[in-house]
Amino acid sequence: MPKIAALYRYPVKGLSAEPLTEVALTPGETIPWDRAWAIENGPSGFDPAAPRTLPKIRFLMLMRNERLAELATRFDDATRTLTVRREGAVVAAGCLETEEGRRAIETYFDAFAASDLRGPAKVLAAPGFSFSDTASKVVSLINLETVRAIGREIGATVHPLRFRGNMHVEGLPAWEEFDWVGRDIAIGGVTFTATKRIDRCAATNVDPVTARRDLTIPVALQKAYRHADCGIYLKVTTGGRVAVGDEIGLG
């Protein structure tokens, strides 16, 4: 039976994955703090009073700004503090719920991403909003065997974090997750509905360890499989806790 091999969240859009051992999920919501913040790249038109999903190009993101993968970030739930490290050293830290803390992060990115920015860096957020690439609040699932199949097809080792998923699944044949779309799924104490396949962009071309743009994943997928999809979105329908090692059952 397939199991959860790893859990991740991405508190700031475009920045590093944060591993979790377990997480509490609420119906109709993302993993808590997943993509809760983004760093504006020039005037974006984002309105915190009326938040809406905008094109990712309006924020710092891996599709265009691969150097972001040089940074390791951690978010502390209790203090709402983001800590940014580069080559193991702390280069910035700040509480994302205070103006002073956000400014500390913005000042760092003004310098670090100066060649990419179209205006001053600005940390954006809105209550309950997620800067996901999809307007629906979902959890993303990646089948590790599918990732291995892609690697075999293109003749390269493909790191699963290229796909920036929330859940990594082990023990499932490659591509079988696509057959889950439209079905109910039970994991731990949570039930989900699989809503759609995930269409991949050039962010997957960036190695999350080396920060090098060294592959052409969407092109390779199209050539090998006639689609650019990897992973599926899940909508939480019944809340509860999910943990690494939980088995997955289909309804």
pLDDT in tens, 15-66: 999 999 999 999 999 999 999 999 999 999 999 999 999 999 999 999 999 9
pLDDT at 214: 95
Report the mean per-residue pLDDT for the chain: 97
pLDDT band at 99 (very low <50, low <70, confident <90, very high): very high
Q: Strand 139-143 to strand 167-170: parallel, antiparallel, or no bridges (unpaired)?
A: parallel
pLDDT at 61: 95
pTM of the prediction? 0.96
User: Could you tell me the end-to-end alpha-carbon distance of the chain, in angstroms, rounded to an integer?
Assistant: 14
Residue 251 pLDDT more than 90?
Answer: no
**Beta-carbon count within 10 A of 52 CB:** 10
Give dist(CA 68, CA 59) in Å, integer: 12
What is the b/e burial string over 139-157, where b = at least 16 CB atoms within 10 angstroms of the residue's CB? bbbbbbbbbebbbeebeee
Residue 93 pLDDT more than 80?
Answer: yes
The tokens for 100 are: 């002073």
Mean pLDDT calculated for residue range 174-197 = 97
3-29+134-250 classified as CATH 2.40.33.20 = yes
Domain boundaries, the chain: 3-29+134-250, 38-124
pLDDT in tens, 100-129: 999 999 999 999 999 999 999 999 999 999
Contacts of 191 (CB under 8 A, 6+ apart): 184, 185, 236, 237, 238, 251
% of residues, the chain, pLDDT over 90: 98
